[in-house]
Structure formats: C-alpha cells, structure tokens
Amino acid sequence: MSQNKVLRKTFDYHNFVRCEQRWIFSGLRLTGDAGAHAHAEDDDATDSFEADIVAGLSAQQKNTLPKYFYDEAGSALFEEICATPEYYVTRVETALLQSVAAELARSIPRDTVLVEFGSGASDKTRQLLDAAPQISTYVPIDISPEALQQAVARLSHDYPRLEMMPLAEDFTRAVKLPPKLEHAPRVGFFPGSTIGNFTPAEAMRFLRSVRSLLGTGSSLIIGVDMIKDPATLLAAYDDALGVTARFNKNLLTRINRELGGDFDAQAFDHRAVWNAQLERMEMHLVSLIDQLVHVAGHSFTFKAGEQLHTESSHKFSVMSFGALACSAGWSINRYWLSPTPRFAIFSLTSPV
C-alpha cells in the first residue's frame, strides 16, 4: 500500500484489553502541558511564570514547564516547526483526520456541543465541522483571548449557523461550561498529541477532569503520537534548519525580557534525546561553559555540559494509551492508525 495514502484501521479495543485491569505508570514530574499558556490576569501570570522558572532552575535536575515556550515569538516559531519537512505530527494527523472525519461524524448526535481543549487557530476543527453539520455549538478553550477572537471571527464567517461560546481559560485547570449546555450531548476534541506533554500522572488527571467536565455519555476525540523509530523522532525535534533549536532558545530570551534574566542563548546548545526507558522525546538546553546566570534576583550556576530540561513528549503504543484512558475512566470505541510515521486518532466514550 502506498504510504502517501492514509491507512484507516478500526478495531474493537475490548478484544484485547480490559479497563478493569491494573496498570502501572512511571515517570518524573518534569513538564506540564506544551499546548497551554500562563493563566489568569497579567500580574498573576507574571508571578506564576517567575515562581515556576525559579523553582525549576533551583531543582537538582534543572527544568522548565513547556507551556512557557509560547510567547508571541515562540508561537510563531512553533508554526514554523509544523511546516518543516521533519515534523510529521501536524501533516500526518491532518491527513488521518480528513480520512476518518466522516466515520467520526456518524457517532456524533444531533445538536451536539463540540468542546476543544487548547483550540488555538481551530484549523483541524474545520474537518469535524464539515463532516458533522449536526454540531450546533462550538466551545473553543484557549488561554489566549487574541487567538480565540481571531479563530471565532473566521469560523463565524464560514459557519454562520454554528453558535460560538469561546472560553479564555487554561484548559489544564478547572473549567466550567455555560449552564445552558448542561443537558446537550457533548463531544471533546483534543488533537495534536498534546497529551504526550503531560507526565503519565498528569495525563491521567487531565483525562479524568475532561470526563468530569463533559459528563457521562460524552465522547472524546484525541490525537496520539505513536512510538516509532528513533531516527524519525530525533529529526522531528532537531530539524535541519534549526527552527526547533531557535524555538527552544527563545525561552531564554523570554526569561531575560520578562524576569530580568541575563542568559546568553549562544552559551547553550539545543539537544533532542529519545528516552527509550520512559518512551518519550526530550528537549534540553545544554550549557557549553561553566557560567553563572541571574534571573529575578536569583543566581544559578551551570556547569559545562549541564542540561536544562525544557520539554518531554511521550509517545504511545495502542496498549499503553488504552491503559491510560481506561485508568481515567474512559472506554475506547475505536481507533485509526496512519501509515508510517504512525499516528493515531482515538474515539473514547464516558460510560453512563
């Protein structure tokens, strides 16, 4: 079969795993959600940014939360990453979603509320809206009011009958839907394999919170990146044009600008690593020299070769994601796999 053609596979998941089985996860709490930004008012966001950065730089294994990548420059750089030949995730997921949208739409009830977590520009959402005109209300959740305003303006023009109810929230925190939607059927949408940026424990908590928000009888459509050969993964996180390296180092520029830091970005090297034991890609900034860095009135020493861990992106097998979903109370109806490089779209339901 040609690898340019999306391979659609559907399975009865219950044939080979039961949700009542016990599963064990391991992993260090190094990162949070790459798709989210800082929360609440500007002052609170600044305080949170400062507190998180100082705490991360003070840790034995220095680390930062990847949500802080996404200032204006970082968001623009991520868009560039998505367009690089090596970064397969956006391209492959979009093709797979286009291929299976009609099948997904058959299970979406009339007058459904579509809730998207970390909606951004809502580009992938259009494939669901086109395939499922029975969706009556769209609730995009994103921390950026500007992104929401722009996305809603575009969608309102193209889907005039669709009711828009945007929520400017950090979707990783407690979110409440408008009371008028209480009795409507609900479908969640979480593309992009952002679930991989959580630790296993964080991912479980997030999926449980989504289930609580959407309610019993709801469903969740989620994109999941699969384990694949290390060469493909390493190229995706360390592209030949160096866009990902600039994206990684931009975090230091943001720290300097917003927290009075004096990082020399040229004194750090971008490094991408496949951690086979924890089944995740990691991004680090590696100090090239012994140096002393000041941030928000604090001093931090870096030895030559010392690593600042800036992101983890967990990859899954069908079994490992199934275990995670089941542990959070979801049941798996079906899933679809792309051809190489493997990516999956899962359709989950919340049992009544």
Per-residue H/E/C for the chain: CCCCCCCCCCCCHHHCCCCCCCCCCCCCCCCCCCCCCCCCCHHHHHHHHHHHHHHHHHCCCCECCHHHHCCHHHHHHHHHHHCCCCCHHHHHHHHHHHHHHHHHHHCCCCCEEEEEECCCCCCCHHHHHHHCCCEEEEEEEECCHHHHHHHHHHHHHHCCCCEECCEECCCCCCCCCCHHHCCCCEEEEECCCHHHHCCHHHHHHHHHHHHHHHCCCCEEEEEEEECCCHHHHHHHCCCCCCHHHHHHHHHHHHHHHHHCCCCCHHHEEEEEEEECCCCEEEEEEEECCCEEEEECCEEEEECCCCEEEEEEEECECHHHHHHHHHHCCCEEEEEEECCCCCEEEEEEECCC
Give me the mean pLDDT over the 156-178 stretch.
90
Dig out the tokens for 268 from the structure.
């750090």
CB 345 within 8 A of CB 222: yes
pLDDT at 115 over 50: yes
Q: Which residues pair with 291 in a beta bridge?
A: 302
Confidence band of 75 (pLDDT split at 50, 70, 90): confident
Q: State the pLDDT at residue 182.
A: 87
Q: State the pLDDT at residue 44.
A: 59
CB 151 within 8 A of CB 140: yes
Going by C-beta distance under 8 Å and a sequence separation of 6 or more, which residues neighbour residue 352?
216, 217
Q: Return the axis-axis angle of helices 72-82 and 243-259, rounded to nearest 10°.
A: 170
- The proportion of the chain whose per-residue pLDDT surpasses 70, expressed as a percent, equals 87
Query: Shortest CA distance to 251 belongs to which of 272, 266, 265, 236?
Result: 265
> Model pTM?
0.83
pLDDT at 235 over 60: yes
CA distances from 130 to 10, 124, 144, 157, 291 (A): 22, 11, 25, 14, 54
Q: State the pLDDT at residue 326.
A: 96
Question: 150 φ, ψ to 5°?
Answer: -70, -45
Q: State the pLDDT at residue 21.
A: 33
Contacts 24+ apart (CB under 8 A), 150-159: 150/121, 151/119, 151/120, 151/121, 151/122, 154/122, 155/122, 155/125, 155/126, 155/129, 158/126, 159/129
> Distance between CA 184 and CA 134 in Å, rounded?
12
User: What digits encode the pLDDT tens for the residues 256-311?
Assistant: 999 999 999 999 999 999 999 999 999 999 999 999 999 999 999 999 999 999 99
**Hey, what domains does the chain have and what are their CATH numbers?**
1-21+28-352 (3.40.50.150)
Dig out the tokens for 207 from the structure.
């999926």
CA distances from 181 to 135, 137, 139, 177, 253 (A): 13, 9, 10, 7, 42
Question: 232 φ, ψ to 5°?
Answer: -65, -40
- Of 119 and 298, the structure prediction assigns the larger pLDDT to 298
